[in-house]
A and B are shown apart, each in its own frame.
Chain A
Amino acid sequence: MSLTLSDIGRIAHLARLEMPPAEAERMLTQLNGFFDIVEQMKAVDTTGVEPLAHPTAVIDHVSLRLRPDVASEPNNREANQKSAPAVERGLFLVPKVIE
């Protein structure tokens, strides 16, 4: 398998990254170099093997906890917005989306 420049463009768009042509070329070479070492995974027979998400699940059942859907944190809007790039009257500002 080999990626093409148009794949790189498509992936960069999905990842919301800007990729000028020179960078896309370099990225293409590097990603294809990487996927060469991924090829060996294909030879592994994984029929019936359950994917492992939480590592200790290999020895014991692990269930991801859910907490009650109640507000557990105090209102901390000012501190939370302190590092926001653009805020007005407690709201995050984004460029105009709807004309």
Chain B
Amino acid sequence: MSDLHQWGVAELAAAIADKKTSSVEAAQALLARARQHQNLGAYLSFNEDLTLAQAKAADARIAAGERGPLLGVPLAHKDIFVTQGFPSTAGSKMLQGYQSPFDATVVANLAKAGAVTLGKLNCDEFAMGGSNENSAYFVARNPWDTARVPGGSSGGSAVAVAARLAPAVTGTDTGGSIRQPASFCNVTGIKPTYGRCSRYGMIAFASSLDQAGPMARSAADCATLLTAMAGPDIDRDSTSLDHPAEDYSRLLGSPREGASAAQPLKGLRIGLPKEFFGEGCAPDVLAAVRGALAEYEKLGATLVDISLPRTELSIPVYYIIAPAEASSNLSRFDGVKFGHRAAQYEDLLDMYKKSRSEGFGPEVQRRIMIGTYVLSHGYYDAYYLKAQQIRRLIAQDFQDAFAQCDVIAGPAAPTTAWKIGDKTDDPVANYLADIFTLPASLAGLPGMSVPAGFGAGHLPVGLQLIGNYFQEAALLQTAHAFQQTTDWHFQSPEGF
């Protein structure tokens, strides 16, 4: 079973169920491989004893006759989910060595389904960033070109899937943190409707935007994970949607209503926002996206020109709202109850200030400063409130667009992966690079990135698909149909 790292979730689950391999054997092989490729910086921590104990328990469930699409399958979690038995750091020195007394709901849901935890994955500190360079520990490297960033903030997650260090992983998306790294690393990822996955135990960044989702090698594997991860968590997350759990795989492989197997997407109207296809997008990215859209036409879809007129505004709106909420959420780090405390200080106030300045990295401090300012006396109305009002207009723009189309498509990011270090001195340049993922985040809509081909230098390009609220199953069906006739998502970087 020397090649089991090449298998996706479905193949691995089937092989384990058929006793061609065991969960223990799969976990051991993947742990060894993850360690062998630790130069990529994908993982922040392991707990081999715990991983193998979980795998052994899964094998026992299988021996007792139990079956399940994730039973015995090793996965890894973004280190933003608190996880018992592993350090939960959010990629920050503030939480170095922090041991959570409980599991995040998403972690617990996957464990219940029999998934095994391989380790915790690198990310930008507190999920703030789009390159993984803001990790307080080490950068993660893009396996397609190790001199380049994997994207972020779920950068370690994308690297783990792309380099075959885990068949699938969890990520979180506040302003594009699943979709953009998926795009940079040739991975499939979905951010569901805000409120589908519980935020309980997801270390908070911006509470009105944070949403968990899976990243994997295919839309089908993403659907399997999302089905296990999502669902109402009424008592523990006040923003969790009170919608019954769904089988997100239910539409996979079947043609749309009224369509045929030859043209399974007949009748599907794909809206192309003109703001996503202009000068702001690199030509090599546009060419790959156009190629993918041509494939969609062959599958029966029709392309419709639409407009999301406030796309550019989503940058200031997001970078007011997210830091405002972050500054509030991160006020809990006071050096008292958990987290870093400075070694030397004069009094309580000095302890707060020193602990926080030592514990938080530069980007986190920048966002705390922005957030504190826009929420301070006399500025709230001009910034936070105004941003929330424009947020409603942006969300309404999407509803107007969905009157003309069923799905919205465009690039997930304006460029392919950039070189490590290229943007580190210019925070605003990093913010501008989020332009195509922010609108759907602000509107709380489900969004995906699907491998769509390659740009200059053979760097991956992701096609972003955005659906209306609660349309995850249809979105995954749309992505899956594309993956049935293309093989971009199967391609792996040389040497992996």
Contact = CB atoms under 8 A, between A and B. Distances in A.
A64 B239 contact: yes
Contact of B376 (A8, A14, A36): A14
B366 A59 contact: no
A69 to B, nearest CB: 13
Nearest to B100: A83
B95 to A, nearest CB: 8
B327 A34 contact: no
Contacts of A14: 372, 376
Interface in A44-78: 44, 46, 49-56, 58-59, 64-67, 72, 76
B317 A19 contact: no
A13 B51 CA distance: 44
A12 B369 contact: yes
A88 B449 CA distance: 50
A17 B369 contact: yes
Contacts of B442: 55
Instruction: Classify chain B's interface size.
Output: 35 or more
B369 A15 contact: yes
A19 B369 CA distance: 11
Given A50-B389, A51-B392, A65-B234, A33 B428 contact: yes
A14 B356 CA distance: 12
A73 to B, nearest CB: 9
Contact of B338 (A31, A44, A83, A94): A83
Contacts of B356: 15-18
B348 A16 contact: no
Interface stretch (B268-276, B380-388, B410-418): B380-388
Interface residues of A, number: 51
B490 interface: no
Name A's interface SS. loop
Give the most central of A15, A33, A83: most B CB within 10 Å: A15
B294 interface: no
Given A16-B352, A41-B313, A56 B208 contact: no
Interface of A: 3, 7-8, 11-12, 14-19, 27, 30-31, 33-34, 36-38, 40-41, 44, 46, 49-56, 58-59, 64-67, 72, 76, 79-80, 82-86, 92, 94-97
Given A31-B366, A37-B315, 13 more contacts: A17-B360, A30-B428, A34-B431, A37-B428, A41-B390, A44-B313, A46-B390, A49-B390, A56-B193, A65-B238, A65-B242, A85-B338, A97-B348
20 contacts: A3-B373, A8-B369, A17-B357, A18-B354, A18-B357, A31-B373, A34-B319, A37-B432, A38-B319, A38-B320, A40-B313, A41-B387, A51-B388, A52-B388, A55-B443, A56-B195, A83-B97, A85-B339, A92-B336, A95-B345
